[in-house]
A and B are shown apart, each in its own frame.
Chain A
Amino acid sequence: MRFTTLVRLAYPGSLTDRVRIAITIVGALLAGLSVLAIGTVLNMAPTERRITLPDGGWSLDPYSWRYTSTLLNESGLRPGLIAMVAATIIPALVLLAQAARLGGPARDHRLATLRLAGATPRQARTIAAASQAFTVAIGGVLAAATYPLVKWLLHHPTMDGVRITAAQADGGPETHPYTGLLLPLPTDTWPAWWSWVVVIVVLPLVAGLISMAGLRRLIKSPVEASRRARRERPRIWPVWLVAAGLADMSACRAWIDALDRAGQSGDRLIAPYVLLVVGIAVICVGVPLSAATVAYLGAKITLRYAHRPAPLIAARRVLADPYAGSRAVSALLVCAVVFGALIGIRTQMDFDLEVQALYGQTIGDRELYELVMNMLSALSVIFIGFAAVGLLIALVDAAMTRRRTEAALLAAGTSTRVLVNARMIGVFLVAVPGVLLGLATGFASPSLASGPQHAPAAVETVCHDLGNSELIVPCTEAGVAQQKKADRDGGNNPAYSWVEYHSKGPWHAVHAPIPWARLGLAGGVDLLAIALVTILSLLVGRRSPAETALRTT
């Protein structure tokens, strides 16, 4: 097989193929940028060094706190930073996986046909792998080309930011904290050399190998594969995968807590945090795979209790191929996991701040936290957009392959409305339980990751008069609130000269309340996106009149 033949067969150029290629390139671009960001974070020069104090103890010297935020400056936070940056690759990988599934049945059919026409298993595998590897390589090269540009665009040196003076640093005589310009992002660092190799070589190779592995059955015998009936009952192991992911996260939680109690930090925290990210990834994979199982059960129940034709047709379709439907909505199910996780993180953080505020503590970089949360929210909105496009394509794809049966049903007197309803119900049979499962596991994950807060039974406030700080005055609720605002505002318009907080009674574990309204909103948005896309796909599908579909000669 010549190279030109390989390229022609790898890119046969149907509409679905073109969309798949476009989404794959975008996914590979995002994944590439994410890998380069990981390479950058791992390549960052140290910002602190350990110095031994005259009394034999040690402290960290912030000799090179050259960034505006604590997250980048403090070496103890580095594992968390790495985990956070590493987690950004997950949506990109999911997008790639979703794209790879687009037009999957058409591609399988095409490869089986090629095998029938005399392609050897190796040739068929090469064609499938080449198609994916070339496309991912294009995305990788784009990422490598874009990264310097992004780095340059984000390079904004400033004088404002977190600084520590020599006196605060408590580092003894040798401490000379950095006093120059600060950077909001590590734009002074280039990605490690290996991350470029990963982006340009390893990602495409892995993508090719994965698409090869997915073809094993099909390649063996062209006819048996294309004829073989789908197994009736979907497998149960994806549900275990979700359970394993949650178990992994709780175990990591316990591990991190134990290390915390033992006063360990830095390098020793890397392993549990990496495993934590693995747990999240496992859940992200498990939920869409479980959707088929859940949809199958839902269809069984529908079949038992429904009497109208539309739900019956929908349930029959899900039972006939439970995977087809879940494949289409899988990316939006991952969106549900991501949304759930973001809500969980936000709830957890807000609750932490609230509990700490009870006894007057304001630790943590509030602005940075807001920035990160907003960035993640924006990312998830972009992500849901991609997922919706993916679903639209998958639905139109499915509608095309079902044209004949639907035309036959129409000819047999089934009304269009029933068919439209059947498609809607078919999608929702998978989507509703999937979104619920995704939101629940997504929300549970960060709660598991951060554990409960500890709060005193009661907090007593002692307020010192504004004019005479020796004088203790009764605290008012409004006054305390005003004081907190002033503390945040850098001392503007205080109510007292200061407020003391005394915790009373035993400390106990407190749990964040479940934000039902937010979860409901996220689930609603996700399901609404699915509904809109389904309606849109019905409008596209309408343009195929029954006569063309029924034409055989």
Chain B
Amino acid sequence: MTLLTGRAVTKQYGRTAALAEADVEVAAGEILAVTGPSGSGKSTLLLCLSGIVTPDSGEVWFAGARLDDRGEAARAVLRRTEIGVLLQHGQLVPELTAVENVALPLLLGGATRGSAARSAEQWLDRFGVAGEAAKRPGELSGGQQQRVALARALVTGPRLLFADEPTGSLDSVAGESVLAALVSAAKDNATAVLLITHDATVAAYADREVHLRDGRVLSGVTA
């Protein structure tokens, strides 16, 4: 079953065509790797498909409903219910503790602090950073920060996780262990993943791979 469809998605920044009529499909529970050189439009694709940025033209469908023409508020709500987003770095609120950061989507959704904190702690535990729950992001290593960010992306039990080079700023050992945690959690919860990377070893974790160049989708290789 198809969970996410992008049809002829186009995004222009000034004169740069960041994304030119890209077509992408993600099936439920599938891990799709999007590869391509730097500047090829991978991040732009993720932002358009996840509803963070509105494409100039084209359509994005999520779970059978049009996503790109919904209002900002509706898309924000989707981000804290059915979609998780994990970026390279810098998405944790520096002033909040790790557990508060993970609890954030639940709190914004109206959960009480107690129940949100309990769910958050479970996810921190699952990713091996339960001991850092009370620390702020600045006190954590890059690998720990990404684990916390991953916990936050998954705390709401989303159907689809967008990950933009989640290990790009980590060394290979730390990167690999974060990636392994991501993949196993996604498989356990039947969460589909759109995984952006320029690293072939990372792409090897995926079920399928799509290659981007100059904002265009070149190939859909099945692993």
- Using CB atoms and an 8 Å cutoff, list the residues of chain A in contact with chain B: 1-2, 4-5, 8-9, 12-14, 17, 106, 110, 113-123, 219-224, 552-553
Contacts and interface: CB of A to CB of B under 8 A. Distances in A.
A117 B94 contact: no
A120 B93 contact: no
Interface residues of B, number: 39
Interface stretch (B20-28, B60-68, B107-115, B187-195): B107-115
Contact of A552 (B47, B77, B87, B169): B169
A8 B105 contact: no
A12 B79 CA distance: 22
B76 A121 contact: yes
Given A110-B93, A114-B108, A120 B170 contact: no
Nearest to B101: A117
B91 to A, nearest CB: 6
B79 A553 contact: no
A102 to B, nearest CB: 14
Given A14-B94, A119-B76, A221-B72, A2 B112 contact: yes
Contacts of B80: 117-119
Contacts of B104: 114, 117-118
Contacts of B78: 118
A120 B47 CA distance: 16
**Contact residues of A: prevailing secondary structure:** helix
A12 B174 contact: no
B91 A8 contact: no
A5 B174 contact: no
Contacts of B113: 2, 4-5, 8
A2 B152 CA distance: 19
With a 10 A CB-CB cut-off, give which of A106, A122, A220, A223 has the most chain B CB atoms: A223
A12 B105 contact: no
Contacts of B94: 14, 106, 110
Interface in B136-193: 141-143, 152, 169-171, 174
Given A113-B91, A223-B47, A120 B107 contact: no
B105 A220 contact: no
Given A117-B108, A553-B169, 10 more contacts: A5-B108, A110-B93, A114-B108, A116-B85, A117-B104, A119-B108, A121-B73, A122-B73, A221-B54, A553-B143
A120 B54 CA distance: 15
Nearest to B47: A223
Given A121-B72, A553-B171, A114 B93 contact: yes
A271 B171 CA distance: 69
With a 10 A CB-CB cut-off, give which of A12, A13, A219 has the most chain B CB atoms: A12
Nearest to A220: B72
B52 interface: yes
A118 B95 contact: no
Contacts of A221: 52-54, 72
A155 to B, nearest CB: 45
Contacts of A110: 93-95
B63 to A, nearest CB: 17
Contacts of B174: 553
Given A14-B94, A114-B93, A552-B169, A222 B52 contact: yes
A17 B53 contact: no
B53 A224 contact: yes
A17 B174 CA distance: 33
B218 interface: no
